[in-house]
Structure 1
């Protein structure tokens, strides 16, 4: 079973899926540049455990914790409520920017460390 089928069994939240073969490869890094798709960026979310994977569109990204070899992982399951919330906003990038602060992550960490 594909995990997205479990998260959205009735295909109400996730309308299209893209995978590794849809990425741009730069060296050994895979980047999900969603500008290549004929979709409005305000409606696309990228979920990945590697923030650099959505570095071209930080506000579309949802960072998650790696799940490798963890039988008890529930990281994607825990996103259900957040994905439902995103489905109700006009532009997911606005909410993601507010929630994840990826544009200011480094500065925020330095400021917190120095205070």
Structure 2
């Protein structure tokens, strides 16, 4: 159910936040979720016996959850750099392009009557 997945994602995000606080010395207020990916993990294969000595396979699927957190202050610094670069680009004046048009010669054929 979707509720089960929500609890699992909450635990993963909380763990990522705690890791960022302890390992990278970042405050929780400056963190935001940059990317979340869920990829395919290994498949656990089991069999259930059925009649006449046969067995049906049961596949239990697992997944890997990747959470990438980023610091807001780093993002703001990147945005300031991009705005400075764009401002520098707009101040440089560009020369207007000149186009040369060539007249096409029209050859008329004499009609024979």
TM-score over 0.5 for the pair: no
Higher strand share: 2
**Normalised by the shorter chain, which TM-score bucket?**
under 0.3
TM-score (norm 1): 0.20
Looking at both structures, which has the greater relative contact order when contacts are Cα pairs under 8 Å and sequence separation is at least 6?
A: 2
